[in-house]
């Protein structure tokens, strides 16, 4: 059974979506955040030929990137407004080819602590006639206390 989390910041959704909007990498590949709740995040990536490998399937690097990003924002949703986050490590298992009209990455916080948070990751390849679990993994994220999430100073 999934643990229910409470956000400590009542404006967590706006803060998380604002941070995601500043992600140049996600903008570059056309990914969008479709759902954010305390301890949970979902990111979609529509199929584009320039995101594929030689067989016309989503490249594993993009599968991994949206999984990592979903994990980061699932954890970040639970942090105070004056904190930020970085991935410490993540492990991804590519279980099936990324064949579909879009990918949907979801992440759920499994355990959050004072400094480290662990998230469970999944990526589904969605087709008109169904879906396939194409990746799963775990991410460990570090809370940067007192270092607010903001653009890098020039």
3-state secondary structure string across 21-66: HCCHHHHHHCCEEEEEECCEEEEEEECCHHHECCCCCECHHHHHHH
Question: With 60 as the cut, is the pLDDT of residue 7 above it?
Answer: yes
- Looking at residue 153, what is its pLDDT? 65
Burial of 129 (0-12, 13-18, 19+ CB in 10 A): exposed
Higher pLDDT, 2 or 13: 13
- Looking at residue 122, what is its pLDDT? 98
> How confident is the model over 59-92, as pLDDT tens digits?
999 999 999 999 999 999 999 999 999 999 999 9
> How confident is the model over 19-46, as pLDDT tens digits?
999 999 999 999 999 999 999 999 999 9
Question: With 90 as the cut, is the pLDDT of residue 152 above it?
Answer: no
Superfamily of domain 12-144: Hotdog Thioesterase (3.10.129.10)
- Looking at residue 2, what is its pLDDT? 66
Three-state DSSP class for 150?
coil
| Domain boundaries defined on the chain | 12-144
Q: What is the pTM of this model?
A: 0.94
């Amino acid at each position: 059974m999934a643990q229910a989390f409470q956000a400590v910041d009542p404006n967590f959704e706006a803060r998380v979506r604002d941070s995601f909007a500043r992600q140049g990498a996600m903008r570059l590949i056309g990914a969008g955040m479709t759902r954010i709740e305390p301890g949970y995040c979902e990111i979609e990536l529509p199929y584009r030929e320039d995101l594929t490998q030689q067989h016309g399937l989503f490249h594993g690097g993009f599968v991994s990137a949206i999984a990592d990003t979903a994990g980061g924002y699932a954890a970040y949703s639970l942090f105070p407004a004056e904190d930020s986050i970085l991935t410490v490590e993540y492990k991804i298992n590519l279980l099936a080819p990324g064949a579909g009209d879009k990918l949907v990455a979801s992440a759920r916080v499994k355990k959050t602590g004072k400094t480290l948070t662990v998230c469970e990751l999944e990526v589904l390849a969605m087709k008109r006639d169904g879906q396939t679990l194409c990746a799963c993994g775990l991410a460990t994220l570090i809370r940067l206390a007192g270092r607010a999430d903001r653009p890098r100073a020039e």
